Amino acid sequence: MSGAPKPPDPAPRAPRITVARTARGVWVGWPGGARFFAAEAAEASSGVGAGAEVRAPMTGRVIKVAVRPGDAVAAEATLLVLQAMKMEYRLTAPRAGRVARVACAEGEMVELGAVLVVLDPAEDAR
């Protein structure tokens, strides 16, 4: 009634987010809800599974495949190059062996944990 301007409403506050890590995964909580995210499989996070399966450590595009089935590879030899988040990641052989199968092709998009190369142990591969 006095014609004085009304003070502005206070700025909204961002919701408080709580994150709790456990041995099985991560809980994310917010006002009115929460969600549990299970830990990824050890094979996906390490890049190597049982039977020497080399797996994608993240979602990305295969930009180079350096081996073919039947090739002998030494430990730490480059198997392929994956591009993710504008960075290139060189995936290497976890041990010496022979390439049993290449499960991806150059230019292909792969998901986290996807099998990319399978190695058979080979004592004579160096």
When pLDDT is cut at 50, 70 and 90, the band that residue 126 belongs to is very low
Sequence-ordered strand ranges (E) for 47-105: 48-49, 53-55, 60-65, 72-73, 78-84, 87-92, 97-102
pLDDT at 86 over 70: yes
Q: Does domain 42-121 have CATH number 2.70.70.10?
A: no
pLDDT attached to residue 46? 45
pLDDT attached to residue 101? 94
* In the chain, domain spans: 42-121
